[in-house]
A and B are shown apart, each in its own frame.
Chain A
């Protein structure tokens, strides 16, 4: 294994070196000074006739030694590229690992890339060309004639004003036809968004469909529950925690919502909808893992930190004669992130 890793590391180092070399070549920072051409020295006004290679002033400085070295380097990178390419084929057909497969692919492409760049650097004439830029704005008369031509054509349309009106109306109808197709993409908002899940009397069930009783949790414990019959319903997911009763500081109208210190809150974060999945029993905080909003279970899940602004909706609870926990009603507000018209 270590041998393989070693090989990987060496390959990586090579790759980096070659890339650095290639980058230097591409950016042209190779120490070669770029000479000012006579065309530039003469100033921008007196240009030779535009375009065509003969007009270029050449700053060609290809020495034979340079050429020889260049050829050698290009040949080396091409050989490396071909070798890596063959390696890739071999590894691919023998179902070799991802690292070797990608490594050889990278090496072969890097080889080709570097070869091309070296080629252009060493074996191609370096000409710096300067050309005049035509002004983008057309001459006055060109613009005038274009406008005239357009208006002449438009006059024929203008004369038939009734037809024109109908064309516009037709375009409007076309647009309406297309836009109304959007209907197919939507879904009715009312039932889904305003749904306040749970109803009075529903038993609290765990994810594996077991009812929860007043003996199920010790103070400091928590469990995810669902209304019976809707196990796994994401909108109805509820976190049940148990705290010591004497610490409760619920609002007065919720005084009887927490039998024996059992508290149930919507598990869908009011910030951006993540499941509020963590309960810290020391601090009595529910924590949302997405943006670290915290909610104090003792005070009705009021947000105490993080970006959430609204408390988690609370579910009133009561214990039936068998000691099973049941919903005493619905959530105190619409569960989930806020929206226009969704406030209580």
Chain B
């Protein structure tokens, strides 16, 4: 039967050879190589759940009065968008589950990408020949972040309206082109009715399409270049070691997909997320204390909170204070990430193609830098919740902010120094261990294979 089907396709597409190559493709086994897969599979979940939601969501800001199963908002004026979300949560079978799964999948998608990028960074997997995939991956991260923002901005609840307004203010603050850009993107001075429909279009079509195309490229390039591998006996830059795609790897990978789906379903079922019905419809007059953005935007939010309130002028022109932490900082951060492969080339004087990864301790400076940056981002992340922390600990926001303003510089520096020391230590230990192994091996008259092992 399989042979008959195969013959049918082969006689039309000439597939036998490529199929055989695909089945025998070698993929290395390591848990950290699955982070990207988790991201991929959460994206699949996002597409599946998102398609369901799109059938019910109404991206319109038309005003209406709510009458529906959610009693607490009966008779309240709201946008059609918000009303459709309420209907989805309370009137559609499995609607709430799918919506919560969608939101959780988005958080996991971005989380998996971030950890994946960190793995790539710390193991030097961005080095030649994989720079293109590093850039594509970073672009995917940027797209994922923006789509997350669009996604929660379109619901028409109070929290999303506040987020939209802050996003508008950030874009508005860009020198010279800010007002034009903000009016072009948001369609006027926020809150304005045209924003939700256009963000909806971006959220369900433009950005996902871009993500899909780049994802296909990303995977195609991995397929073409083959995967990297960790250093070890027999691992060289001229070979690849791992298991074949078919069947072991396929089974594991599909199994992983089901597990990712299961975890997202469990979270969607058991852990409430973005309960928009509690926030109420967006009202530009209403306030929502203790509001927090989704975790992946918290670093920018934290930076905005810690940045001092100073007026900075360029000649007679004001550069609003949100520009520096809200726009300049994230943009510079990503530019540095995009350019990092060149920087690495510059400090290591190494422009050779690599397929064996670099242990983090082999490049103490980079590892220390990476950890320091993560610590920096973590302090900013904490700062995004400074008001919540203040309430929880009974201290004033001013005190907490002062501590965080110090920590934001001290903690990364300390982290960097400690990590640098640890790297040097383990480099020594590793070198000693290698020496001993070499000695004992030569004593036994054995040959150590794999020149890549002798790194230092």
Contacting residues of chain B (186-206) with chain A, CB-CB under 8 angstroms: 187-192, 194, 198
Does B220 sit at the interface, judged by CB under 8 A?
A: no
State the CA gap A207–B94 with chains docked (Å).
39
Task: Tell which of B182, B191, B258, B322 touches A109, judged by Cβ atoms closer than 8 Å.
Answer: B258
Say whether B24 contacts A292, CB under 8 Å: no
Bound state CA distance, A53 and B20, in angstroms?
10
On chain A, the number of residues with a Cβ less than 8 Å from chain B's Cβ atoms is 99
Partner of B265, one of A23, A102, A307: A102
User: How far does the alpha carbon of A340 sit from the alpha carbon of B310 in the complex, in Å?
Assistant: 15
Q: A103-B266, A275-B287 are in contact. Are A110 and B305 (CB under 8 A)?
A: no
**Interface-lining segment among B207-215, B233-241, B342-350, B415-423:** B233-241
- Asked if A293 is an interface residue, CB under 8 A from chain B, the answer is yes
Whether A307 contacts B304 in the complex (CB less than 8 A), given A119-B251, A120-B247, comes out as yes
Residues of B within 8 A of A188 (CB): 183
With an 8 A cutoff between CB atoms, is B394 at the interface? no
Q: Is A324 engaged at the interface, CB distance under 8 Å to the other chain?
A: no
Contact stretch, chosen from A169-177, A229-237, A240-248, A249-257: A229-237
B-contact 0/1 string along A270-313, CB 8 Å cutoff? 01111101100000000001111100000000010111111000
Interface-lining segment among B26-34, B119-127, B134-142, B431-439: B26-34
Do the beta carbons of B188 and A187 come within 8 Å of each other? yes
Question: Quick check: B189 and A235 within 8 Å, CB to CB?
Answer: yes
**Stretch of B52-60, B109-117, B146-154, B165-173 on the interface side:** B165-173
B255 and A113 contact, CB distance less than 8 A: yes
Report chain A residues within 8 Å CB of B183: 186-189, 192-193
Q: How far is the CA of A36 from the CA of B446 in the complex (A)?
A: 14
A232 nearest CB across to chain B (Å):
7
Residue B261 is within 8 A (CB to CB) of chain A in the complex: yes
Q: Bound state CA distance, A237 and B191, in angstroms?
A: 13
Assembly CA distance A296 to B131 (angstroms): 52
Are the C-beta atoms of B288 and A98 separated by less than 8 Å? no
| A214 lies within 8 A of chain B by Cβ | no
In the complex, are the beta carbons of A53 and B243 less than 8 A apart?
Answer: no
Contact digits for B377-402, partner A, Cβ 8 Å, 1 yes 0 no: 00000000011000000000110010
Residues of A within 8 A of B445 (CB): none
A8 within 8 A of B: yes
Q: Closest CB-CB distance, A342 to chain B, in whole Å? A: 7
Task: Tell me whether A28 and B29 are in contact in the complex, defined as CB-CB below 8 angstroms, given that A106-B266, A109-B262 are known contacts.
Answer: yes
CB distance from B398 to the nearest CB of A (A): 6
In angstroms, Cα B170 to Cα A114, docked, is 46
Query: Assuming the A-B contacts A99-B269, A117-B252, A136-B225, are A43 and B309 also in contact, with contact meaning beta carbons closer than 8 angstroms in the complex?
Result: no
Contact A271 B270 (CB under 8 A): no
A338 at the interface (CB under 8 A from B): yes
Known A113-B262, A117-B255, A339-B179; judge A133-B397 contact (CB<8 A): no
A101 within 8 A of B: yes
Interface assignment of A168: CB less than 8 Å from any CB of chain B: no
Q: Is the CB of A187 within 8 A of B322?
A: no
Which of B94, B178, B194, B226 is A92 in contact with, Cβ under 8 Å? Answer: B94
Given contacts A103-B266, A136-B353, contact A26 B256 (CB under 8 A): yes
CB distance from B304 to the nearest CB of A (A): 6
Q: Are A106 and B263 in contact (CB under 8 A)?
A: yes
Query: B191 → chain A, closest Cβ, in Å?
Result: 6
A192 pairs with B284, CB closer than 8 A: no
* Residue of A8, A92, A116 with most partner-chain B CB within 10 A: A116
A107 at the interface (CB under 8 A from B): yes
The answer to whether A130 has its CB under 8 Å from any CB of chain B is yes
Cβ–Cβ contact A8 & B166, under 8 A? no
CB of B242 closer than 8 Å to a CB of A = yes
Residues of B within 8 A of A132 (CB): 238-240
Shortest beta-carbon distance from A18 to chain B in Å: 8
From residue A44, how far is it (CB to closest CB) to chain B in Å? 5
- Do B241 and A290 touch across chains, with their CB atoms under 8 A apart? no
Closest to B168 in A: A273
- Indicate if the CB atoms of A130 and B255 lie closer than 8 Å: no
Across-interface contacts of A126 in B (CB, < 8 A): 243, 248
- The residue of chain A having its C-beta at the shortest distance from the C-beta of B264 within the complex is A106
Complex interface bits, A112-150 against B, C-beta within 8 A gives 1, otherwise 0: 111111011100111111111101100000000000000
B259 within 8 A of A: yes
Query: Across the interface, do A187 and B242 meet the contact criterion of CB distance under 8 Å?
Result: no
Q: Is the CB of A116 within 8 A of B129?
A: no
List, in ascending order, chain B residues with CB within 8 A of A277's CB: 286-287
Residues on the B chain within 8 Å of A12, using CB: 266, 270
Q: Which residues of A contact B129 (CB under 8 A)?
A: 136
Q: Which residues of A contact B355 (CB under 8 A)?
A: 133
Determine how close the nearest CB of chain A comes to the CB of B220; give it in whole angstroms.
14
Q: A40-B234, A339-B172 are in contact. Are A102 and B270 (CB under 8 A)?
A: yes
Contact B265 A109 (CB under 8 A): yes
- The residues of B that contact A234 with a CB separation of less than 8 Å are 191, 284-285
B180–A290 contact, CB under 8 A?
Answer: no
- Also in contact, A40 and B179, with CB within 8 A (given A22-B255, A186-B184, A307-B309): no
Question: A44 touches which one: B96, B177, B254, B450 (CB < 8 A)?
Answer: B450
| In the bound complex, CA of A139 to CA of B241 (Å) | 25
Task: Tell me how far the C-beta of B110 lies from the nearest C-beta in chain A, rounded to whole angstroms.
Answer: 21
Instruction: Name the A residues within 8 Å of B174 (CB-CB).
Output: 340
Residues of A within 8 A of B177 (CB): 340
Interface-side segment among B313-321, B328-336, B406-414: B313-321
Do A307 and B269 touch across chains, with their CB atoms under 8 A apart? no
Chain A 164-203: CB-based contact to B (< 8 A → 1; otherwise 0):
0000000000000000001001111100110000000000
Q: Which of A129, A289, A336 contacts B287 (CB 8 A)?
A: A289
Q: What are 15 residue pairs bridging A and B, where the CB atoms are less than 8 Å apart in the complex? A: A102-B97, A102-B266, A103-B266, A113-B262, A120-B252, A124-B251, A129-B26, A132-B238, A272-B304, A273-B190, A275-B285, A303-B309, A305-B309, A338-B318, A339-B320
Closest 3 CB pairs of A and B: A102-B269, A113-B258, A338-B320
**Known pairs A51-B20, A289-B287. 18 more at Cβ < 8 A?**
A43-B449, A53-B24, A92-B93, A99-B270, A106-B269, A113-B258, A131-B26, A133-B226, A133-B239, A187-B189, A189-B180, A192-B189, A292-B401, A307-B305, A308-B309, A337-B173, A339-B320, A340-B317
